[in-house]
Amino acid sequence: MNLKRNVYLDMKSIEEAKKILFEQFGHHVTKIETIDVVNAKARVLAKPAIAAVSSPNFHAAAMDGIAVDAKITFGATEETPRIIAPYKNAFWVNTGHAMPQGTNAVIMIEHLNIIDDNKVEIEAPVYPWQHVRKMGEDIVATKLLFPRGHRINSYSMGALLSGGIFFVDVLKKPKVLIIPTGSELVQWQKVRPDQLKPGDVVESNSRVLGGLCEDYGAMFERHPMLKDNLENIKMAVEKAAKQDYDMVCIIGGSSAGSEDFAKSVISSLGEVFVHGVTMMPGKPVMFGKVFGTPVFGIPGYPVSAIVAFEQFAGPLLLKMQKLPKKEMTEVLVYPARKIASKLGQEEFLRVKIGSVDGKLISSQLPRGSGSITTLTEADGIIRIPQNIEGISQNESVRAKLLRPLSSIENTIVITGSHDNTLDLMADQVKRINGEISVSSSHVGSMGGLMAIKKGACHMAGTHLLDPADGSYNISYVKKYLAGQKIWLINLVMRDQGLIVPKGNPENIQSIEDLKNKDLQFINRQPGSGTRILFDYKLNALGLSKDDIPGYENDEYTHMSVAVCVLSGRADAGLGIQAAARALDLDFIPVVTEEYDLVIPDRFYKTEKVQVLLETIQKKEFRNRVMSLGGYSTKNTGRIMHGPED
């Protein structure tokens, strides 16, 4: 086994890497094939398309009525109407019918006074070729319909068929071989979810890249998964490069690990041009040439793989078909918070975007290159240049949209504390009104109030306990949102408590046990209602944060806390019962608390917010909430505080 590690000694910028890529492979164009026009949508013409027939290829009636030689109608007026005899010097026609011999105009049926079966009267003349589609009016035989390089769309297919072109010469779709590698990989068809062992990774990247190949107009084949074995991977690449593949993508093996073989494979069979690009995610991407075929080493982390493909492999596939670059809508957005970034690394930051007070506000999603949900949840991508250290909160920046702007305009932006019922609410709103979406980001209860104060969201989820009187949220709203008209609407009452492993092996019964048993705790982030509750309970018990091992370790959602307990990273964490139940963990109740929606008055009466408020009061939503466990909906939809309170 080759234990030598790869080291990025000569990383390139994105621009430098693309320049090298197109210098090496920009001249590659796929071969020509002849296909049926009806199967040619989105394909590129390799030869000009010249009409074989005229369209229409006869003189055709453009209206329902009677076809005549126009001269027999001359002189007709209201005072001196003219009688015409159908079947003698006039002929009944419908729209689209061929004009009978000797006729050159159509009298519309609305302009006829029908006397009997053999006589009609007209009160105005028609002129030659009135209401007639003349032969060749649309297309004249031998006309150039489309030049080579034209991309055929639905309209093009209609024109081609009308012009008598039933077969076209087009550039072949590039053919890509995708080779997933990694000893940790398992195929989804061969394992049940409950059979996955620690270390097993369901192979999904090849399916994602295959879909991307199709998005870029290419075909793909998926090679059977290969374990981390240099010779086996080398054999697969060599065989593919000698066949009729236009591109090979090795997934995994491009990083600096001892079992990352992509570089060794490409260099032993051909030449590596680039290994490492100053971008994040996707830094380990590489490409080279094997027997004239471009071969990519694609990083194994899902988001890195996607970004690397879309920056390099995808554009090359378009070039092979003479297709234009993909253009994405760009808009100006304002970050909800300051964004830090590393110098020397161009970053593709995934963000949620919402329209608040006429401004597009972006909230960054987690940066992990292994989290594909940061792309599925993203509304856009902010590209941060490598020569800056970040973006300030008040600085506008361009974002490329992953969703239509109209969809973003119809999104309700919720920022604040996490709760599992927010996902149910989003689904129920979508059921009731498919044009409205709910987007929630989790920054804690205090973070939600600050987002409202800054005009960065439509509403916030919060459960802030006032230690002075045991009330929830009202005192915080009055203090931090003073001067704003605010509605406080209850979403749910919920049980908070200690989430512990199934069976409660440490026999934890209370918060005091976290100190007495010297157990590892997982906390929530500062500013979250759960963190404030925990601090309040510690103070009431005469404990300090120093008494709780792991107090400084935190997560941003209840489900993340539950996962930490499930994985063994922590022995306990404070969270909602629904999170414990979702992962089949045990739960020790601590308190029942109030979780409210904080809504500025200027948004309260908008259509989309009213749809949301109507949704949470419906029986179907309440039933779904109760099925989660640990909730009460007795106050759901109730106004806990209004602008005049």
Task: Assess if residue 436 is contained within a domain.
Answer: no
What CATH number should be reported for the domain holding residue 213?
A: 3.40.980.10
Q: Are residues 227 and 85 in the same domain?
A: no
Q: Are residues 258 and 339 in the same domain?
A: no
What CATH number should be reported for the domain holding residue 386?
A: 2.40.340.10
Q: Are residues 118 and 154 in the same domain?
A: no
Q: Are residues 495 and 625 in the same domain?
A: yes
Distances (CA, A) of 14 to 9, 275, 286: 16, 12, 12
Q: Are residues 189 and 315 in the same domain?
A: yes
Q: Are residues 279 and 353 in the same domain?
A: no
Where does a domain end: 287, 320, 353? 320
Mean pLDDT, 10 residues at a time, the chain of 645 residues = 53 95 96 96 96 92 94 91 85 94 94 88 94 90 94 96 96 97 88 86 94 97 93 95 95 64 93 95 95 96 95 97 92 90 89 93 86 89 89 88 94 94 95 92 92 94 92 95 96 96 95 88 93 93 94 94 95 95 95 96 96 96 96 96 87
Task: Assess if residue 121 is contained within a domain.
Answer: yes
Q: How far apart are CA 232 and CA 226, in angstroms?
A: 7
> Which tokens hold the place of 80?
């001196």
Task: Assess if residue 419 is contained within a domain.
Answer: no
CA 531 distance to own-chain centroid: 33
Beta-strand pair 437-442/411-416: parallel
Task: Assess if residue 3 is contained within a domain.
Answer: no
Long-range pairs, 342-346, Cβ under 8 A, ≥24: 342/280, 342/389, 343/386, 343/387, 343/388, 343/389, 344/278, 344/386, 345/278, 345/279, 345/280, 345/283, 345/386, 346/13, 346/14, 346/278, 346/279, 346/280, 346/383, 346/384, 346/385, 346/386
Beta-strand pair 271-275/286-290: antiparallel
Q: Would you say 280 and 348 are in contact if contact means Cβ atoms under 8 Å apart?
A: yes
Q: What is the DSSP letter of 312?
A: I
Q: Would you say 421 and 457 are in contact if contact means Cβ atoms under 8 Å apart?
A: no
What CATH number should be reported for the domain holding residue 461?
A: 3.40.190.10
Q: Are residues 458 and 566 in the same domain?
A: yes
Q: Are residues 541 and 501 in the same domain?
A: yes
Where does a domain end: 379, 403, 427? 403
* 3-class secondary-structure state, position 450: helix
Task: Assess if residue 623 is contained within a domain.
Answer: yes
Q: From start to end of 228-302, where are the E strands?
A: 247-251, 271-275, 279-280, 286-290, 293-298
What CATH number should be reported for the domain holding residue 77?
A: 2.170.190.11
Q: Are residues 575 and 555 in the same domain?
A: yes
pLDDT at 258: 45
pLDDT at 7: 54
pLDDT at 1: 38
Nearest C-alpha neighbor of 413 from the set 491, 478, 356, 479? 356
Q: How far apart are CA 22 and CA 13, in angstroms?
A: 14
pLDDT at 10: 77
Nearest C-alpha neighbor of 284 from the set 255, 250, 252, 251? 255
Total domains, the chain = 5
pLDDT at 189: 87
All residues at 6 or more sequence positions from 355 whose CB lies less than 8 Å from its CB, including other chains: 361, 408, 409, 411
Q: Are residues 353 and 397 in the same domain?
A: yes
pLDDT at 256: 53
Q: How far apart are CA 65 and CA 126, in angstroms?
A: 12
Q: How far apart are CA 314 and CA 215, in angstroms?
A: 9
Task: Assess if residue 298 is contained within a domain.
Answer: yes
Task: Assess if residue 417 is contained within a domain.
Answer: no
Expressed as residue numbers, the domain containing 101 is: 60-133
Query: How many CB atoms are closer than 10 A to CB 144?
Result: 9
Task: Assess if residue 182 is contained within a domain.
Answer: yes
Where does a domain end: 288, 320, 352? 320
> Which tokens hold the place of 240?
């593919």
Q: Are residues 474 and 616 in the same domain?
A: yes
Q: Are residues 36 and 23 in the same domain?
A: no
Q: Would you say 266 and 314 are in contact if contact means Cβ atoms under 8 Å apart?
A: no
What CATH number should be reported for the domain holding residue 149?
A: 3.90.105.10
CA end-to-end span of the chain: 73
